[in-house]
Structure 1
């Protein structure tokens, strides 16, 4: 059976693997510090190119907020290449596109996951006109309604350099997080992504460098413990 890499990375957080769990708690804390003077309830996650792992980041960050006790919703607004439903084993055909087409109530479309406090609004069936749907007044009303039901909303969107979807949604959120990938993201693409985000006049809450070699992370983490041990011994 072919392994789903996206699902495996989410499972790492579900199993509370210490290093992964601490990394996303750290990101959650950094977001709080970055937005200390304003209320952040909705975060849009996008990337500078495809293959950056922004959907995995969206899923794990949602878990981190749910673990904090916040009633959290992860919305799969990548109506072109949805993946969130596979990560959490929910029905991918029941979701946002159905709500936007008035086929389903938005609260009924939100599916609970095995993670306490975490629900998912899957993409639903892939529509022929994603940008039109996401930029509609109906989408604005949906987000306003969901803000009344959830403490934290994470929105996974397509790469901002490739499609207009993220730019249409960003003004309806409190901040944008740009995901880049070590060894893959190019400076020109990152610059273009930041320029497009700037056009939305929504603050960049932060950027996340994904795909750093695990061996390097573990080495730094081990060094941290070594330093702490030396301090205690001293």
Structure 2
């Protein structure tokens, strides 16, 4: 098996909410979904960004499984890979990445031609497309604003997977045009000061932090690892 195939298999196994819908971990993703439902009673929550302080915190796994459990409610969901530096959505959902977000933003492709269906009913994905030389500029462009306007007319939820916020400015730029952001932190891994810094950066840009997801938290008397959604 090639290295690319091995990675694709590893990434797809992260879709536990699809392949193991009755698992305790999947139930915790549903808890995050429920928190979003309550949060959206008073205000619109259609475009949601998921980020982390640093790499390896599990933000891509979290946003993929959140997209799945939202789609399981028979909501039309679009997952956009806005990590234009180290994209993974195409691996997770076994898609080609020849065309994607970068092609749409640069008008090399229409959204209809670039979007892909998945094995999960009601869930579509838009991969990153070819990695551009100017990710921050693309995400902050008027083309991005037009793209968001287009896809929000087609989907009930649009989720964005972005790079870690402390690494580059991409997530902060996109957070300013989304309805809300979710911060993923890894138990025993994410630096406390780093998480605080992310919160400060979001506040500076007047972006709305919906809450944090504590990832890889071991629970006593259980062989499972839970993912907790915690509203702030």
TM-score exceeds 0.5: yes
- Inter-CA distance 35–42: structure 2 relative to 1 (3 Å threshold): same
Matched, 1:199 2:204: yes
**CA distance in 2: counterparts of 1:139 and 1:69, whole angstroms:** 27
What's the Cα RMSD here?
1.8
In the alignment, which residue of structure 2 is the partner of 1:81? 86
- Residue by residue over 1:200-220, the C-alpha shift from the partner in whole angstroms, topping out at 9 and shown as x without a partner, is 212111100111236665579
Contact 2:217 2:225 in 1 (8 A): no
In the alignment, which residue of structure 1 is the partner of 2:44? 39
In the alignment, which residue of structure 2 is the partner of 1:224? none
Contact 2:25 2:225 in 1 (8 A): no
Matched, 1:162 2:162: no
Structure 1: gaps of 5 or more residues: 222-234
In the alignment, which residue of structure 2 is the partner of 1:109? 114
Moved over 4 A (4+): 214-221
> Which of 179, 185, 192 is the aligned partner of 1:180?
185
Q: CA deviation at 1:23?
A: 1.1
Contact 1:71 1:152 in 2 (8 A): yes
The number of residues matched between the two structures is 220
> Which of 16, 19, 23 is the aligned partner of 1:18?
23
After superposition, residues 48-63 of structure 1 pair within 5 angstroms as: 48-63=53-68
Q: Tell me the TM-score normalized by structure 2.
A: 0.89
Q: Tell me the TM-score normalized by structure 1.
A: 0.89
Higher gyration radius (CA)? 1
Q: Considering fraction of residues, name the structure with more strand.
A: 2
Structure 2: gaps of 5 or more residues: 227-232
**CA distance in 1: counterparts of 2:170 and 2:182, whole angstroms:** 15
After superposition, residues 125-136 of structure 1 pair within 5 angstroms as: 125-136=130-141
- Inter-CA distance 143–218: structure 2 relative to 1 (3 Å threshold): same
